[in-house]
Chain A
Amino acid sequence: MRLRVIIFLANGLGWLSRATKRGSGVMLTGRMILKLEPRAAEILSRNRRVVLISGTNGKTTSTALIHAAISTSHKAVTNFTGANLFAGVATALSQSRSAPIAVLEVDEMVIPWAIAQTRPEVIVLLNLGRDQLDRLSEVRVVAQKWKDAVQNLPKKSLILADADDPFVVWAAKDWKHVIWFSSGSLGHIDASTCPECGEVLWWNDKGSDFSCTCGFARPKPDWVLSKGMLKGPKKQKIEVVSGIPGKAGISNAARAIVAASHFDIELEKSSQAVKKISSVDGRFGNIVIGQTKYRLMLSKNPASWRETLSTSKAGPDGVLLVVNANTQDGKDTSWLWDVDFSPLDGRIVIVSGDRRSDVSARLTVAGIEHAIAKDERSASIMFGSGNADLIASYTAFHRLAKLVKR
């Protein structure tokens, strides 16, 4: 069957799934395409400039920002909904075949396949940290996968890599064309030993520099984001304003500007484009439940909790934590003890979700006063009218994100 026909049929199946409210249809469409034409992603990537984006945290947001910046001058397809496995990538590539650029979010473990299939021109490696250890691999295993996979990149491909993350540095450092980006993130809870040799890794007191006696060290960054100002290797300079709050928001925005500059988009133009994005796929979207207007935030591992708690601190007094431990959340909740919850101190804190007892025990030991509620609606009775942040783990977030008006 010709690929065009396959895509037509698969899109029909996706439409049917949406029409019958079974789901977004993205996965179904992609699965059918790959079933009928296993080389579909490779065929659909030919004659296209492909950007891949991967990392433990910030994939969906970064992909949306890079797509927005590139779209100021080129037509580009992307996987908007965070569907970042084989099927999601195939579906994205099958849309608007005339678009010369594809900006694709890819799950960390799918990177080897995505590199082989799409032969990307640019690959953006964000960060690697512990994430749902009961079902995913320990950080070193993922880093090794990346390190092996990038050696199969087309010769002229470019890696835009984070210079502050030892695992990203280790995975990317042997490639010829690397642009190192730094946003000044500090320390790394999983990198106390050297990814190269296993000896204890040296960190300076601030956590802004690392090196090892084996020679492994933090590279000198080409692009640096500092105090909202992004500076490039050729004296480029632009102020970065992010529509998405928090430190990660601004660093993702800056990185997107750098990625887009490879496609000859002027910094100013990209900067204007990323500034306009304030919510991606429900993240930082608003939902009203009962009397309370909640700002929805996703947190799925210790690094993202740390980031979210610090962003939320500048928000409203009320904060609701919703923690589940389904398969997609990770069934092990012991990571709760890797998160510093002190930014919640002094706020009105309510915990909910299937594992609210685990969270409550954690907060009790941390000395943070809180109440327990069975769901968002009961919590809203306690909050009353007004604003509150709602920080949710994966499955709770996706249930609630559907309520965000787009």
Chain B
Amino acid sequence: MTFTIVHLFPELLGTYGDRGNVEVVSWRLSQRQIENEVIAVGIGEKIPKSADLYFLGGGEDDAQIAAMEILARKNVMAKVLNSGGHVFAVCAGFQILGDTFPASGGRVISGLGLLPIETVSVTPRSVGEVLLKPTFSIEGEEFLTGFENHSGQTRFTDNLQPLGIVAKGIGNGLGAGVDGVVTPQVIGTYMHGPALVRNPGLADWVLERKLGRLEPLDASIFQHLHEERVRASR
């Protein structure tokens, strides 16, 4: 069986190197001889509903709204989740999965309503290195490292498990001291960098939720990068 990865609207949601998350999970699968396919879905193209893993990245206001409108039109993401697909969403992509998010001129935009979260605009922007203590155990990774750059801050409106407790940076903000969200099918985060490049353990964890236990991979550069960034943030 081919593991199918869908990269949603890279031209809209790809401001912060988001392609890296997609490429690195594909690479980690290929290195293990696990057949996989990456489908980059452009504006106006058909979105596969029964792929394994979907990626939503970061983007500016107009692009975020444009992406949201396309996804809202046919209830795509709800169908994806119903078919058992998993989602990894960063920054703007994380925000659109929730109930509301802000846009320029004080506008409040309705999101896809798939996560009980709402995002509000906060100045100054949250910019800089992020260090998290994950809320679950990841092999070989005591911390998660990323880089954040967002003006929106996000609150949970129901009980949710965050991705991690913030040791450095802002993350979801609004005083909660946490970043992102983890549900059985969705991971959201404000960490780009890209997060799955900087945290190889998290990348494998995301894949293992779908594929079961994977063989260890000999790719020391990613471990090295992970340790270097964690050290630099501490």
Contacts and interface: CB of A to CB of B under 8 A. Distances in A.
B207 interface: no
Contacts of A361: 24, 197, 221-222, 225
B43 A364 contact: no
A269 interface: no
A338 B17 contact: yes
Contacts of B19: 337-338
A156 B93 CA distance: 46
B15 interface: yes
B209 interface: no
Given A357-B224, A357-B225, A192 B24 contact: no
A397 B24 CA distance: 29
Contacts of A364: 27, 219, 221-222
Given A332-B16, A337-B194, A192 B63 contact: yes
Contact of B43 (A130, A200, A337): A200
Contact of B15 (A133, A198, A200, A366): A133
Contacts of A198: 61-62, 65-66
A218 B189 CA distance: 37
A48 B61 CA distance: 41
Contacts of A190: 15
A-B pairs with lowest CB-CB distance, top 10: A334-B17, A337-B17, A337-B20, A198-B62, A192-B11, A357-B225, A193-B62, A332-B147, A365-B27, A334-B16
Given A189-B11, A333-B193, A357-B224, 8 more contacts: A134-B128, A139-B60, A140-B61, A332-B147, A332-B193, A337-B197, A361-B221, A365-B23
Nearest to A372: B221
B149 interface: yes
A138 interface: yes
Contacts of B60: 138-140
Contact of A365 (B12, B24, B128, B228): B24
Interface of A: 130, 133-135, 138-140, 189-190, 192-194, 198-200, 331-338, 357-358, 360-362, 364-366
A335 B147 CA distance: 12
B62 A130 contact: no
Contact of A331 (B18, B23, B65, B128): B128
Contacts of A332: 16, 147, 149, 192-193
A11 B11 CA distance: 49
Contacts of A200: 12, 43-44, 66
A286 B127 CA distance: 37
Nearest to A363: B221
Contacts of B193: 332-334
Contacts of A362: 20, 197
A334 B221 contact: no
14 contacts: A140-B62, A192-B11, A193-B12, A198-B66, A333-B193, A334-B17, A334-B18, A334-B20, A334-B193, A336-B17, A337-B194, A338-B17, A360-B221, A365-B27
A138 B16 CA distance: 11
A133 B63 contact: no
B147 A192 contact: no
Contact of B12 (A130, A192, A333, A358): A192
Contacts of A360: 221, 225
A327 to B, nearest CB: 12
B45 to A, nearest CB: 12
B180 interface: no
Interface in B199-234: 219, 221-222, 224-225, 228
A361 B149 CA distance: 22
Contacts of A199: 66
A338 B59 CA distance: 13
B149 A133 contact: yes
Contacts of B192: 332, 334
For B15, B127, B219, B224, which residue has the most chain A Cβ atoms within 10 angstroms?
A: B15
B129 to A, nearest CB: 8
A72 to B, nearest CB: 43
B110 to A, nearest CB: 16
A135 B127 CA distance: 8
A205 to B, nearest CB: 12
B147 A357 contact: no
B15 A193 contact: no
A333 B146 CA distance: 10
A364 B218 CA distance: 12
Contacts of A338: 14, 17, 19
Nearest to A332: B147
